[in-house]
Amino acid sequence: MKRTQIDSRTLAKRAAVNALRRAKRAVSRGGVDLSVWEGEFLDSIETRLNTYGRAFADPEKGAAGQALSVLQGVKLKEIKAKAEGRKIGGKARFGSAGKSAIDG
């Protein structure tokens, strides 16, 4: 039996849907109350993945073959960590902590 090759978009969508399911499962098991925004975020991501196969339209916000933008992936990880009782933070998200380009 020959296996068909799955394209990278399908794999990215599957990985994003699985990450979304893991985050929702962690929230339900952890008994954590999400903010209204976080709940709507998870629902909108799921809707867009099922409808369009990806959750963002602007190609500058993520790689062409990815289903989630970079910041959507970060927020999904933050929600999952919140549900598991872990703390994410303490680091600057972009660039070095507190240094500007002028400081050198």
- Does a structural domain hold residue 36? yes
State the chain's mean pLDDT as an integer: 80
- Does a structural domain hold residue 54? yes
Q: Name the 3-class secondary structure at 91.
A: coil
* Stated length of the chain: 104
Please report, as a single letter, which amino acid is at residue 71. Answer: L
Confidence of residue 89 (pLDDT cuts 50, 70, 90): low
CA contacts within 13 A on the Cβ side of 25: 6
| 63/92: higher pLDDT | 63
- Confidence (pTM): 0.69
pLDDT in tens, 34-61: 889 999 999 999 998 888 888 887 777 7
- Does a structural domain hold residue 1? no
| Helices (H) then strands (E): counts for the chain | 3, 0
User: In total, how many domains does the chain have?
Assistant: 1
How much is the pLDDT for 30? 84
